[in-house]
């Protein structure tokens, strides 16, 4: 980590400013100004996200097309005009750093950033038309997800007293999500169970023939991998997809082998069962269904060797 990072991209400074802004947000909520509550909250979220990236390395938050900012990220202060990444890029990058910051959370964060931009740079009033219950719980969930990656919490970020309401809101939202997913799974189970036995057996046999690489069209997004899961509703062969989060070279290899074993880890984003039509979006829904959103496998690939120089 560079020792003299300019304050504009210093993780601690970004984190401290996010705390100031979220404090302003709660103050505006306290007097009933819900427009400004969402405005300051959106600014606090973006600063918190940048603090998380900068903690990994400050180069992750500067504009890669602005060479002066890249120098500053390397600890060489050649300018005071540091340019940072846009909110869209920020939230895309967080999906690769924060395990629970999945596509669902990313879209929510992007939406609130777009509403903020419309609020500040146009005559539109998007915050005024946004109901509190349509965004607040998901906002605190997004913040809590980022803070957890940073080894922090809502309590630390807001102060124990101020965190009570958001934490209670998070718990209520989590309980509501858990109940909703369980009802969804039970409904799919009942639909499948209502079919004739011969029909269930036929569908199960067809499901056993499906292979992951043929299921791309099942999913809304494009991800790194598709893998097999047992459906929690109908117990048939179903599929999950997600982004790769890590890989390591396995120690289980021969010294003279030309192939290596790679241990890979993926984080589930979407679950689909073609048999009973059960769909789960995001790691929270997957987790609530009883499935694990973490998938591990091994891949064999040819080893790469550095070319030898000067030995001709």
- CATH number for the domain harbouring residue 108: 1.20.120
58-77 in b/e form (b: 16+ CB < 10 A) is: bbbbbbeeeebbbbbbbeee
Same domain, 157 and 27: yes
Percent of the chain clearing pLDDT 70 (strictly above): 90
pLDDT confidence of residue 66 = 86
Which residue range is the domain that position 65 belongs to? 7-162
| Res. 309: pLDDT tops 70 | no
Q: Last residue of some domain: 115, 137, 162? A: 162
Give domain status of residue 167, yes or no: no
The predicted structure's pLDDT at residue 144: 84
* Residue 45 or 144, more confident: 45
Q: What is the pLDDT of residues 104-135, one digit of tens each?
A: 889 999 999 999 998 888 878 878 888 888 88
CA pair distance 182, 186, nearest whole angstrom: 6
Q: What is the mean pLDDT of residues 4-16?
A: 84
pLDDT tens-digit map of 182-193: 888 988 999 899
Exposure of 301 in the CB half-sphere (CA atoms within 13 A): 12
Q: What is the pLDDT of residue 278?
A: 93
Asked if residue 200 and residue 69 are part of one domain, the reply reads no
Tally helices (H) and strands (E) across the chain: 10, 5
Decide if 140 contacts 22 (C-beta within 8 A): no
> What confidence score (pLDDT) does residue 92 get?
94
In a domain, 132, yes or no: yes
Counting the structural domains of the chain, the total is 2
Do 30 and 155 fall into the same domain? yes
pLDDT score of 304 more than 70: no
Of 162, 178, 206, the position where a domain reaches its end is 162
Residue 187 lies in a domain: no
Alpha helices (runs of H) in 83-135, residue ranges in sequence order: 87-97, 103-121
One domain, residues 140 and 251: no
Q: 3-state secondary structure string, 257-286?
A: CCEEEEEEEEEEEEEECCCCCCEEEHHHHH
- Do both 13 and 151 map to the same domain? yes
Burial class (CB in 10 A: 0-12, 13-18, 19+), 298: exposed
In tens, the pLDDT along 151-181 reads: 887 778 887 556 667 777 777 677 767 877 8
Q: Are residues 24 and 155 in the same domain?
A: yes
Residues 34 and 146 reside in one and the same domain: yes
Mean pLDDT of the chain: 86
Residue 1: predicted pLDDT: 47
pLDDT of residue 248 exceeding 70: yes
pLDDT at residue 292 tops 80: yes
């Amino acid at each position: 980590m560079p020792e003299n990072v300019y304050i504009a991209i210093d993780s601690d400074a970004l984190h401290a400013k996010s705390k100031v802004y979220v404090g302003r947000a709660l103050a505006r909520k306290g007097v009933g100004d819900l427009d400004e509550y969402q405005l300051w909250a959106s600014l606090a979220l973006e600063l918190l996200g940048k603090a998380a990236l900068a903690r990994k390395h400050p180069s992750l938050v500067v504009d890669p097309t602005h060479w002066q900012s890249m120098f500053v990220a390397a600890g060489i202060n050649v300018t005071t005009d540091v340019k940072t990444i846009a909110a869209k890029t920020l939230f895309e990058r967080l999906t690769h750093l924060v395990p629970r910051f999945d596509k669902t959370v990313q879209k929510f964060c992007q939406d609130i950033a777009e509403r903020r931009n419309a609020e500040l740079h146009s005559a539109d009033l998007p915050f005024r038309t946004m109901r509190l219950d349509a965004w607040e719980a998901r906002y605190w969930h997004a913040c809590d997800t980022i803070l957890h990656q940073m080894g922090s919490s809502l309590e630390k970020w807001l102060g124990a007293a101020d965190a009570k309401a958001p934490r209670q809101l998070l718990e209520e939202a989590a309980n509501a999500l858990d109940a909703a997913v369980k009802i969804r799974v039970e409904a799919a189970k009942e639909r499948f169970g209502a079919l004739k036995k011969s029909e269930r057996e036929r569908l199960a046999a067809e499901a056993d023939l499906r292979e992951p690489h043929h299921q791309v069209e099942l999913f809304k997004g494009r991800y790194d991998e598709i893998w097999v899961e047992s459906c929690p509703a109908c117990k048939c062969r179903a599929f999950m997809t997600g982004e790769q989060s890590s890989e390591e070279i396995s120690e289980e290899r021969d010294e003279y082998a030309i192939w290596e074993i790679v241990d890979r880890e993926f984080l589930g984003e979407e679950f689909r069962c073609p048999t009973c039509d059960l769909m789960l979006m995001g790691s929270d829904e997957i987790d609530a269904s009883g499935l694990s959103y973490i998938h591990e496998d091994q891949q064999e690939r040819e080893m790469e060797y550095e070319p030898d120089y000067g030995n001709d």
